[in-house]
Structure 1
Amino acid sequence: MTQPIDIVLAFNDFFWAPAYAVMRSTCLTTHRRADIRFHILTDGITEAHRRDLAAIEGEFGASLIYYDLNQSSDFAALSTKVRGDGLHPSIVYARLIFDRLLPPTIQRVIYLDSDTLVLTDIAKLLTTDLEGHALGGVLDPSWLHAAFNRDIKTNRDLYDPADPYFNSGVLVIDVDKWRAADLMGHVDRLKDLGVLHRLYHDQGLLNLVFRNRFKILDPRWNMLSPGPDVKALGPYILHYTGRAKPWHLNAPVAHARAYRHIMTNALFYRYWHYRLRRRILPFWRNRGSDEGSTAIYRGA
């Protein structure tokens, strides 16, 4: 029996369209489309957006499996302890407890952020030799800022700048070893020590727990903040970590046009209008100008 390709994503309703692009790009670049199982951790997706995502199943035969975080006591407990913000809502921490949600028979998964684009067969990543480690990840070239912040002094009691530090947006994970690491226990201990808020969200915590105990992957598996010239390096997965996102109009990023077509033109522009309504119209309403804001939207 062929081993399934289990992929975990965690996103809220606002990122349904980028998540669709992640899943569609994953399916387009492998012959094993029907073996893929997308495990979707979410705190709520509208029925209309679920219908958009269901097109992945119809087009490729892949499976979408939803996990309602609103029904998870583990996620409820985690959300009371971690620090979220506008760019990193609490759902980004859901990956820490995926092992408590997925069936216990699953032994290995790939985790993908919703701002990635897969350009090669994901099955190759799944079979990576982790050399006995719980996970594999790509080194983060922005590790000094992520771990130490200003003057490279913050968190020097927690990290050593000479140690490798990975980006958590693309990971291949041995589930049993991940479970054995007891990440929720680490959250509690770090909270009690008063240092949890100093970490760079879930990535900072994972680098603390797995310091010097992870497999370093080829950087092409997680090409960060990719500008147009990155295409020449032959990346396997693009990770749009910079301010410019491929769902922005005329974004100066690698494979911007391909991204739009993978998302599909119809969904790309529908998502653009959705973001406009969500982010710009409230600004004008707060200024008491509902009529003017509607005119701006219609003319966009």
Structure 2
Amino acid sequence: MTVEASRAARSRQAVIFCCNSGYLPFALHAADQIDRLTPARAFDICICHGEEPITIPDSLSSLDVRLIRIETSGVFTGLRLDPGRTHDVYLRLALPQALAADYDRILYLDSDIFIQGGDFTALLGLDLGNHPLGAVRDNIQWRTPDRRAEQFRRLNIDAAPYFNAGLLLMDVRRYNEMSLLDRCVELGRRESHRMIRHDQNLYNAVLRGDWAELSPMWNWQYSWSARLFEAMRFPHIVHFIGTLKPWTDRKGQYSPRFAQSYDRFIATHFPGRTRNPVSSGLSPADHMMRKMLVKHFVSSAKLARYLDRFPSDMTVIL
């Protein structure tokens, strides 16, 4: 692999997004939120890309984002791809190996997130024990922790804790000691006919529970079954899982505050980009609202048991 960067690293820790030009505004929106929360930050904020070049607007130069191009030279050839995708969807797998000379700790974040708070300096310094990764359990196991992930079933793997890869706290040395990139790629090529989606399943199938569990305050997966609880817990990071995103939500299924924030940001920094009308939100009498209320009522006790496992946002379950 080869690495080209817009500037040298200024810290041994980094928050990194991997995206293409389509998701660049949303990654930069999150980067701007983190920068505002941490005005004297002692970590780099980076945006990594692969095959497609990207350009950061001059209006965001104050963020001091480190732009990194990683040429993976066919490392991901043979891995499963959804239609219309490129091998850049696997780029986060390569971060610890490609950037080992620059960083000891990497916090990888998906671009479809909304930052509301949190001490990112403290998060980067969490003790992960001897694990290569810290992550938040996938929401399929929030209420049913013993649920077997579909990918595990397809690979004939026993049920194990299964994480969502939208936030990954990477211990670079341990990650590389375990040859995690090579092991994920080898599994992905060997089992490409049985794999679904992309690197999240590769990580989980290789590690099989060998990861440190972080509080859901750092990756609140915004599903219809936990959306209303988010307003009460006010997590640090809201992650818009699934195909519906606030910037494409025309029926108001999400709180309008998300789309309004994105709309203001895009109008300021990407004025040539097409903007969608912002919905005023769901009516209390809407069928979806009623469905969410029933689901929240039925699942409240199980979700409370999950949340009670984390006395603070810095709790790590090893």
TM tier, smaller: 0.7 to 0.9
Unaligned stretches of 5+ in structure 1? 275-300
- Cα distance in 2 between the residues matched to 1:88 and 1:235: 30
1:210 aligns with 2:218: no
Q: Give how far 1:153 is off.
A: 4.5
Match of 1:288 in 2: none
1:265 aligns with 2:262: no
Taking only the aligned residue pairs, the percentage that are identical comes to 24
1:214-254 Cα deviation digits (max 9, x unpaired): 11100110011256532221211111013321222554224
1:27 aligns with 2:35: yes
Match of 2:67 in 1: 65
Q: Give how far 1:77 is off.
A: 2.7
Distance 1:268 1:260, change over 3 A: farther
Task: Give 3-state SS (helix, strand or coil) of 1:43's partner.
Answer: coil
Match of 2:253 in 1: 252
- Cα distance in 1 between the residues matched to 2:171 and 2:253: 35
Distance 1:262 1:172, change over 3 A: farther
- Cα distance in 1 between the residues matched to 2:194 and 2:111: 24
Equivalent position to 1:165, from 162, 178, 199: 162
Using the TM superposition, name which of 132-141 and 98-107 deviates more. 98-107
TM-score, scaled relative to structure 2: 0.70
- Cα distance in 2 between the residues matched to 1:257 and 1:187: 35
Task: Give 3-state SS (helix, strand or coil) of 2:22's partner.
Answer: helix
Match of 1:37 in 2: 45
TM-score, scaled relative to structure 1: 0.74
Equivalent position to 2:217, from 197, 220, 241: 220
Count of aligned positions: 257
- Cα distance in 2 between the residues matched to 1:129 and 1:164: 19
- Cα distance in 2 between the residues matched to 1:168 and 1:25: 20
Query: RMSD of the TM alignment (CA)?
Result: 3.0
Equivalences for 1:75-224 in 2 at 5 Å? 76-78=74-76, 80-86=77-83, 89-120=86-117, 121-142=119-140, 147-148=149-150, 153-155=153-155, 157-158=156-157, 160-161=158-159, 163-191=160-188, 193-194=190-191, 197-224=194-221
Q: Give how far 1:192 is off.
A: 6.0
Using the TM superposition, name which of 166-175 and 249-258 deviates more. 249-258
- Cα distance in 1 between the residues matched to 2:52 and 2:81: 17
- Cα distance in 2 between the residues matched to 1:34 and 1:267: 25
- Cα distance in 2 between the residues matched to 1:245 and 1:202: 21
Task: Give 3-state SS (helix, strand or coil) of 1:242's partner.
Answer: coil
- Kept after mapping to 2: 8 A contact 1:135/1:178: yes
Match of 2:292 in 1: none
Using the TM superposition, name which of 222-231 and 233-242 deviates more. 222-231
- Kept after mapping to 1: 8 A contact 2:15/2:107: yes
Distance 1:139 1:11, change over 3 A: same
Unaligned stretches of 5+ in structure 2? 1-9, 277-318
- Cα distance in 1 between the residues matched to 2:88 and 2:254: 26
- Kept after mapping to 1: 8 A contact 2:135/2:211: yes
Using the TM superposition, name which of 258-267 and 170-179 deviates more. 258-267
- Kept after mapping to 1: 8 A contact 2:16/2:48: yes
1:43-97 Cα deviation digits (max 9, x unpaired): 2234xxx142x54332x4x33232243xx32xx231x121111475421211111
Q: Give how far 1:27 is off.
A: 1.1
- Cα distance in 2 between the residues matched to 1:205 and 1:66: 24
- Cα distance in 2 between the residues matched to 1:126 and 1:165: 21
Match of 1:284 in 2: none
Distance 1:146 1:16, change over 3 A: farther
